[in-house]
Structure 1
Amino acid sequence: MQYVSTRATSASAARNPQHFSDILLGGLAPDGGLYLPEQYPQVTGAELDAWRTLSYAELAYEILRKFATDIPDADLKALTAKTYTPEVYRNARADESASQITPLRVLEQSPERTLILQGLSNGPTLAFKDMAMQLLGNLFEYALAKNGDELNIFGATSGDTGSAAEYAMRGKRGIRVFMLSPHKKMSAFQTAQMFSLQDPNIFNIAVEGVFDDCQDMVKAVSNDLEFKVRQKIGTVNSINWARVVAQVVYYFRGYLSATTSNDQKVSFTVPSGNFGNICAGHIARMMGLPIAKLVVATNENNVLDEFFRTGVYRVRKSSETYHTSSPSMDISKASNFERFVYDLVGRDADRTHALFRKVDTHGGFDLSGAPGSDGDEFNLVANYGFQSGCSTHEDRLATIRDVFDDYGITIDTHTADGIKVAREHVEPGVPMIVLETALAAKFNETILEALGTDAARPAGFEDIESLPQRFVVMQPNVAEMKQFIAAHTGLDK
């Protein structure tokens, strides 16, 4: 299995295919594109049947070995076994078994509609990001140890990626983490989870701006190839291919747990901001997993919903990006969207490059096919099963109340967006699985508003907001950010 950049034109610096280990520690390709396999590996019905009885770790191994073909099987099996254990994913609810890793809860079941919640928040930071990040930490340590090398991770977070990355990388030999987050725009719990870490290899940087400002700086630094190489810069954002492919696993687990035979289909609704989570679902579907629909659920920052309804991709400015009660989706420039567009335009790297150059220069593109538009590929979106919807603050308050009253479950704000949109797209005979984003405790301010009571917290998180915090505040200035990184790596000495 080899990988190419979405912008691998004839003049591209990344036109030569790469192996999994070659792209593991990086993010963007040298040409500014994102890596994808030359072709998606296919899964047979016989494999799906054989996988139904596997543990999560065993299933992860079977799927990942199709993508990481240059890692010895024994090593990959050991890495997945080390990662996906009940001890790591220990924060299961009282009625769940930690050994399930991603348990399903049937919320509604009838011939007309079946609605299922897939739990993804049992990891150490109580968010779905742990599902991939814990594996990424072990993969990084494995790769660095083989070469006696070191890595400086530079990433951006709107909330959950940062803490998941830091908890996965803390104490890892040869790894430092520089994590950007929008200053005062995460929940108090999310902020405390990151900033309370005192590990010397963790650097939290609060940026005066929104998430897109943080993400733009990560891309700018990644595109400075000389600095990136000299400072040994890598990324854990969802532009990192290994993180996306690790998320593919729970789509297979959700499908296999919700069905009894391979002639059944399911749909997934995914709360979406940066498009990485649902991009993994797109990849699973391209591999042959019987997915009927992939439903993108957005909040008030509805850039992706607008595209999947109209064919127009219109990035918002920082001043037009809303600060909402589902803050991890307060994103107006979805990095992983380029991976889907590459498939949508027939894997035409020149066309993909041109479209995303237009994002940088004109703030978006139009594939609706209307006169004067950039093309008519929007009519092909249905072939990939995508639909969408959006949710507001009032919607999520109402959904949190409904789910608590009807099922006795307290859901977080992003998951509420997912359930609200899922209800609009569920169809008879096709189970709809909603991917959970996080435990409700991470967004207690809104839970308190919706239910009049605090969300329950797992043991060990009772007073996290009162812990001492360690972070710096900086402006969204790329030159100053490079100076900060260089000053703390010591690689320029």
Structure 2
Amino acid sequence: MRYVSTRATGASQSATFSDILLGGLAPDGGLYLPAEYPRVTGAELDAWRQLSYADLAFEVLKKFATDIPEADLKALAEKTYTAQVYRNARAGESAEEITPLRVLEDEGRRKLVLQALSNGPTLAFKDMAMQLLGNLFEYALAKKDQQLNIFGATSGDTGSAAEYAMRGKKGIRVFMLSPHKKMSAFQTAQMFSLQDPNIFNIAVEGVFDDCQDLVKAVSNDLEFKARYKIGTVNSINWARVVAQVVYYFRGYLAATSSNDQKVSFTVPSGNFGNICAGHIARQMGLPIDKLVVATNENDVLDEFFRTGVYRVRKSAETFHTSSPSMDISKASNFERFIYDLVGGDSERVRALFAKVETDGGFDLSGAPGSDGDEVKRVGEYGFKSGKSTHDDRLATIRDVADNYGITIDTHTADGIKVAREYLEEGVPMIVLETALAAKFNETILEALGTDAERPAGFENIEALPQRFIVLPPDVAKMKAYIAEHTGL
């Protein structure tokens, strides 16, 4: 298995999984994708139906990480996906299943299903990939006797998932950016309360997109990146996306009894990483009908899938909402889908995303003067979209609590609201849960008049001492801080 950049030139023409594991952006500023997606046969799907999550993860991962010995890859999967790590299952759910399904609605032949992805140590779906990434990183660094300085950005959940996965890992430091005072109190405490010496929390005076721009700016400085051994855990990292592909297969296999049945997935989305994994699973041959993108008030992706216009909002135009992990106006993983949409034309991809930097976006609607007409091909990939607002969120949280006895978080509420717009007879709709409700208690309290239940160990997290610094969105100051604290 070889990998190419979406903007393929020179040094980024071809690489192995291990070559790109510890990095993020390709040297040309693009994102890595397989030169060709591996395919899954019906016989393989049949054989995978009875596998544990760890064994299923191994089967999927070995199609992408062909240069890692299979025995090592299997051991890493078995170390990661255990009931002890994913121990925060709700009442009635089995931790052994890792990502249990729960049917919410089954009226006639219309079925709405919730797939729990938030049973890990930080109560968010990011743990599904990040726990594996931590083990992969430690494995690869030990093989090479190297160090890694992870530089990432979070709108809320990626940061804590990365820090909990990397804390105490030999040879790894984490520098995590987050938008100052724009995460929930629980999310903030979960990150900033960590006292591990290899964890550095940096609150940036701005929005998530400012944090993400800083990560890309540092990653594009190849000399600095090499000197200070900079890597990333954001979803621009290919290994993280691959790890997320696994739970699409798990959801499909758990919701169906035969391979001639299709399912659809609805995914709360801001950075396009989670649903990009679903796109990859579909490209591999998983029988997915629709991939529904659910956005909040920051509806850049919904606008594109409805109109073909990708229009990035400026920081001042980005709303601070009650589903803050989706308060993103520049979807960093979107480039991977656009690469497929334009037929793997890397020159075209480079030109389109140059327009994002200069003009704030591009237009594939096919209207006079637009940049192309590829929006007509979006349907070939199964994509649909919708938008949810704060009032929608409150109404959906109340409805699910009243009718199904489940308290869902705000992002999952966005997903369920939009999913209901695309229910279809005979095609189960699986909504990916993104976090446990306790992480967004302010809105749960507003919706239900009562606090969300907290798993053991998280009862008073906001009261713990916090360790972080505040910096402006300044590339030079960020580089100086990293250089001072890497120990290199």
Runs of 4 or more above 3 Å deviation:
none
From 168, 193, 205, the counterpart of 2:202: 205
TM-score (norm 1): 0.99
- Aligned alpha-carbon RMSD (Å): 0.5
Q: For residue 13 of structure 1, report the CA deviation from its aligned partner.
A: 3.4
AA aligned to 1:206 is: A
Q: Note the 1:468-483 alignment, pairs <5 A.
A: 468-483=465-480
Q: Note the 1:366-381 alignment, pairs <5 A.
A: 366-381=363-378
Q: For residue 119 of structure 1, report the CA deviation from its aligned partner.
A: 0.1
In 1, the alpha carbon distance for the partners of 2:110 and 2:192 equals: 43
Q: Note the 1:275-314 alignment, pairs <5 A.
A: 275-314=272-311
**SS of 1:289's equivalent?**
coil
Residue in 1 aligned with 2:5?
5
Q: For residue 450 of structure 1, report the CA deviation from its aligned partner.
A: 0.1
Q: Note the 1:102-141 alignment, pairs <5 A.
A: 102-141=99-138
**SS of 1:332's equivalent?**
coil
From 32, 35, 53, the counterpart of 2:32: 35
**SS of 1:89's equivalent?**
coil
Residue in 2 aligned with 1:73?
70
Q: For residue 490 of structure 1, report the CA deviation from its aligned partner.
A: 2.4
In 2, the alpha carbon distance for the partners of 1:26 and 1:144 equals: 12
Q: For residue 111 of structure 1, report the CA deviation from its aligned partner.
A: 2.8
In 2, the alpha carbon distance for the partners of 1:65 and 1:282 equals: 19
From 210, 229, 234, the counterpart of 1:232: 229
From 362, 365, 377, the counterpart of 2:362: 365
AA aligned to 2:225 is: K
Residue in 1 aligned with 2:487?
490
Please say if 1:354 is aligned against 2:376: no
1:265-292 CA-to-partner distances (Å, cap 9, x unmatched) read: 0000000000000000000000000000
**SS of 2:267's equivalent?**
strand
Residue in 2 aligned with 1:193?
190
Residue in 2 aligned with 1:446?
443
Please say if 1:412 is aligned against 2:406: no
In 2, the alpha carbon distance for the partners of 1:263 and 1:14 equals: 39
Please say if 1:319 is aligned against 2:309: no
In 2, the alpha carbon distance for the partners of 1:375 and 1:222 equals: 30
Q: Which runs of 5+ in 1 are unaligned?
A: none
TM-score (norm 2): 1.00
Q: For residue 113 of structure 1, report the CA deviation from its aligned partner.
A: 1.1
From 54, 57, 70, the counterpart of 2:54: 57
1:371-425 CA-to-partner distances (Å, cap 9, x unmatched) read: 0000001100000000000000000000000000000000000000000000001
Residue in 2 aligned with 1:156?
153
1:202-229 CA-to-partner distances (Å, cap 9, x unmatched) read: 0000000000000000000000000000
Residue in 2 aligned with 1:345?
342
Q: Note the 1:394-433 alignment, pairs <5 A.
A: 394-433=391-430
Q: Which runs of 5+ in 2 are unaligned?
A: none
Residue in 2 aligned with 1:171?
168
Residue in 1 aligned with 2:454?
457
Please say if 1:14 is aligned against 2:12: yes
Residue in 1 aligned with 2:177?
180
In 2, the alpha carbon distance for the partners of 1:469 and 1:189 equals: 12
**SS of 1:13's equivalent?**
helix
In 2, the alpha carbon distance for the partners of 1:489 and 1:307 equals: 40
AA aligned to 2:152 is: G
